[in-house]
A = this chain, B = another copy of it.
Amino acid sequence: MKKETNAPVCEVEIVDGKKVEKAKEKIADTDQVLEMADIFKLLGELTRLKIVLVLLNSELCVCDLAAAMDANVSTVSHQLRLLRNAKLVKYRKEGKMVFYSIDDNHINDAIKKIKEHTEE
């Protein structure tokens, strides 16, 4: 086992330098890792995940979305904003109503990115 000879504290104590180097490469592209994390984070919350799952089927207005998932309109709207910012959903205005749907292009891009990472 190769060990660093310094390291007075239990830190920066590396056991297998080569592995560590390879590992670092895997996460070197900070922006991409951050982007992945953001998408996962967005889907990792119940209200938002429900919204996305529901919208995979069809376009819905905020009101119906809220009804379908038994949530407050305000809550749904707040979370829609986050999904909108991340371009996971898109919207279409029709009078005073707003219809939301999945932004397929961006979702597919996201899935691609994740696959690239997991299937290397």
Q: Which residues of A contact B (CB under 8 A)?
A: 10-16, 19-20, 22-24, 26-27, 33-34, 36-46, 49-50, 53-54, 56-58, 60-61, 63-65, 67-69, 72-73, 97, 117-118, 120
Cβ contacts under 8 Å, A120 to chain B = 56
Return the contact of A23 from the options B20, B34, B36, B68 (Cβ within 8 A): B68
Total copies of the chain: 2
B14, A63: Cβ atoms closer than 8 Å: yes
B43, A37: Cβ atoms closer than 8 Å: yes
Taking chain A's interface residues, is the majority helix, strand, or loop, or is none over half, making it mixed? helix
A46, B20: Cβ atoms closer than 8 Å: no
Return the contact of A54 from the options B26, B72, B118 (Cβ within 8 A): B26
A15, B63: Cβ atoms closer than 8 Å: yes
The residue on B at minimum CB distance from A117 is B53
Cβ contacts under 8 Å, A42 to chain B = 44
